[in-house]
Amino acid sequence: MEEIGRLNPRARQWLAGHSLSKWTLAHDGGNRYGFLTTNLSEIFNSVLKGARFLPITTCVQLTFYRLVHYFNVRRPLGSGAQANGYPYTPHVGAKLATSTSKASAHSLRSSNREKGIFE
């Protein structure tokens, strides 16, 4: 936080006014503000696919039933994974493994460490 304060005092003040769980992955408990919710709008759009041109009442009804189905299918996958001691479903675990593998090939070169500038 001190380094953030040196770079941008207003940013540090703003961050200090918010719970760590709201803006850090290390303190989010692993399932609320991090990876598991980053694509929520894309998921919702996929649920609504084809419903945009329907009358509003029908659209609301269709949205409700599609969301119920979506979560009824996926809830057991998450619960089963947690019951077996896994923090993620096999699908999410595979995506994380792929991302980790890609990230291991990334490299940074410090241009100005004090100012936090990297290439």
pLDDT of residue 19: 84
Q: Rounded to the nearest 10 degrees, how much is the dihedral formed by the CA atoms of 47, 53, 58, 61?
A: 10
Same domain, 28 and 47: no
pLDDT of residue 101: 92
Same domain, 101 and 48: yes
pLDDT of residue 83: 93
Same domain, 56 and 98: yes
Range of the domain at 51: 41-119
Same domain, 47 and 1: no
Same domain, 56 and 26: no
Per DSSP, helices labelled H in 1-119 are: 2-7, 9-16, 20-23, 40-48, 56-83, 90-103
Same domain, 90 and 107: yes
pLDDT of residue 37: 54
Instruction: Kindly list the averaged pLDDT for each block of 10 residues, start to end, along the chain of length 119.
Output: 89 88 70 57 73 82 88 91 90 91 84 77
* β partners of residue 105: none
pLDDT of residue 31: 59
Same domain, 68 and 101: yes
Domain count within the chain: 2
pLDDT of residue 13: 92
Give Cα 118 distance to the centre of its chain: 25
